[in-house]
Amino acid sequence: MAETMKAAMLHKARDLRIEEVPRARITGAEQALVQVEAVGICGSDVHYWAEGRIGSKTFSQPFILGHETGGTVLEVGKAVTNVKPGDRVAIEPGYPDRTCRYCRAGHYNLCPEMTFLADPPVDGSLCEYVAWPADYLFPLPEPLDVEAGAMMEPLAVGVYANRQVRVGPGESVAVIGAGPIGLLCLQVARASGAYPVYVVDVVPSRLEHARRLGATEVIHAGERDALEAVRGATEGWGVDVVIECVGIEGTVNQALYMVRRGGRVQLVGMSAATLASFPAWDVILNELEIHGQFRYVNCYPPAIALVQSGAVDVASMVTQRWALEEAPEAFAFVHEHRAEVVKGVVRVG
Ligand SMILES: [Zn+2]
C-alpha cells in the first residue's frame, strides 16, 4: 500500500485542494483501516468551505473535510472482532473517551473529549483511508451499499430526534425544513407510526421529495402561513410533536406555537440561532416539552435496520455524485444550488 493518500484539504474559505498526505494507518489493537468509498456532503462541511467557520468555530491548520462515510474494511487490529477485512461499513464519525461521567451515563454524544471527523483539528474522511476504532464501525447488510453507509450519519440524527421526542403510533407530527435531515426525520416519524405528518419548507422540489417520502401534507411556507396551515389541519389543536430542522429564530418560535398544549418539540436545526425573546410564559402555560439535540447516541444500528427493512429510503435522496478529484467543484455546486441538491456524495476510488 502506498505511503501517501489523496485527501480533500480545506486551507481557508473556498480553498479546498486535493493533496497527497501521509496515509492513515492503524495505531492500536482496537482500530481498523477503512478504504473510503462514499462521503456525503453535509451542510456543516459546506459552512466550513464557504465561510471558513461554523458560528464561532474556526480552524488554524488545514484539515480534511467530510464525516458521512461508507467504505470497506481493509485491515484490523489484533483485538477487533466486530468487523473483518472485506466488510462494507458505515463509520460513526465521533468516538468519545468512554470514561467520563457522560460516557458512563450513556450520553457519549456530550463527552467533552469527543474525537469527531472534520471537527478541526481532527481530519475528516474525504480521503482514501481512515483508521478508526472498530466499535464505531458498523457492517452494512444487504441491500445497503456504501452510499447508504454514508447516509447513516444524517439518518442517525433523524433516529435520535424521533427517539428523544418519543414519536409514537398515530401521533401527528410537523417537520419544519425539508433538507436531508428534515426528510429523514419525516421518514423515521412515518416508520414510527406517526400520522399525519406535515412537512414545511419554502423550496417546491424539496416539498415534492417530502411528499414522495411519505409526508401526508406539504406546506409551502412562502405561499401560506405555516402556523395557520398546521393549526387549520388539526382543527386548531396543533400537532402532538414538532421536529424543527431549520434552526432560525422564526421557525424555532413557530415550532412552539405549532405544537398542541402539552406537546413536544425537538430542536434539531443548527444554525447558531439565538432567540431574541423566549416565550417562557407560553411554554409554561402550554406545558411544552422542549428538547435540544446534539448529534446522536447509539443510533447507527437502528438507522441500518430502518433501511434494511425498507422503512426508510436513503437511495433516492442521493441526487448528485462527484469523484474525489472533483471535490472543490462539488462544494461550489452544493453551495450555489442548495435547492436542487438533496444529498451530494463524493465517490472515492
Ligand atoms: Zn466521555
Domain CATH code at residue 41: 3.90.180.10
* CA 247 – ligand 1 centroid, Å: 27
Flag whether 150 is in a domain: no
Flag whether 70 is in a domain: yes
Identity of residue 70: G
Query: What confidence score (pLDDT) does residue 107 get?
Result: 97
Tell whether the model's pLDDT for residue 328 goes beyond 70.
yes
Flag whether 123 is in a domain: yes
Flag whether 149 is in a domain: no
* CA gap 266, 216 in Å, rounded: 20
Residue 240 shares a structural domain with residue 337: no
Q: What is the mean pLDDT of the chain?
A: 96
Flag whether 19 is in a domain: yes
Q: What is the value of pTM for the model shown?
A: 0.97
Tens digits of residue pLDDT in 60-72 = 999 999 999 999 9
Residue 334 shares a structural domain with residue 253: no
Flag whether 147 is in a domain: no
Flag whether 308 is in a domain: no
Residue 133 shares a structural domain with residue 20: yes
Residue 135 shares a structural domain with residue 161: no
Query: What confidence score (pLDDT) does residue 273 get?
Result: 60
Percent of the chain with pLDDT over 70: 99
Tens digits of residue pLDDT in 9-43 = 999 999 999 999 999 999 999 999 999 999 999 98
Residue 280 shares a structural domain with residue 333: no
* CA 95 – ligand 1 centroid, Å: 9
* CA 90 – ligand 1 centroid, Å: 22
Domain CATH code at residue 228: 3.40.50.720
* CA 108 – ligand 1 centroid, Å: 6
Query: What confidence score (pLDDT) does residue 270 get?
Result: 80
Strands 289-292 and 15-22: unpaired
| Number of separate domains in the chain | 2
Spatial neighbors of 33 by CB under 8 A, at least 6 apart, are 24, 25, 26, 73, 74, 75, 76, 129, 130, 131
Going from the C-alpha of 180 to that of each of 42, 82, 177, 187, 270, the distances in angstroms are 9, 29, 9, 11, 13
Tens digits of residue pLDDT in 102-136 = 999 999 999 999 999 999 999 999 999 999 999 99
- Enumerate the β-bridge partners of residue 239: 259
Residue 121 shares a structural domain with residue 88: yes
Query: What confidence score (pLDDT) does residue 278 get?
Result: 82
Residue 119 shares a structural domain with residue 9: yes
* CA 115 – ligand 1 centroid, Å: 10
Residue 49 shares a structural domain with residue 82: yes
Angle, helices 180-191 vs 146-164, to 10°: value is 70
Flag whether 302 is in a domain: no
Residue 246 shares a structural domain with residue 319: no
Q: What's the average model confidence in pLDDT over 320-340?
A: 95
Confidence of residue 272 (pLDDT cuts 50, 70, 90): low
Residue 286 shares a structural domain with residue 172: yes
Its domain, for residue 17, covers: 4-139+314-347
Residue 17 shares a structural domain with residue 123: yes
* CA 160 – ligand 1 centroid, Å: 19
Tens digits of residue pLDDT in 167-204 = 999 999 999 999 999 999 999 999 999 999 999 999 99
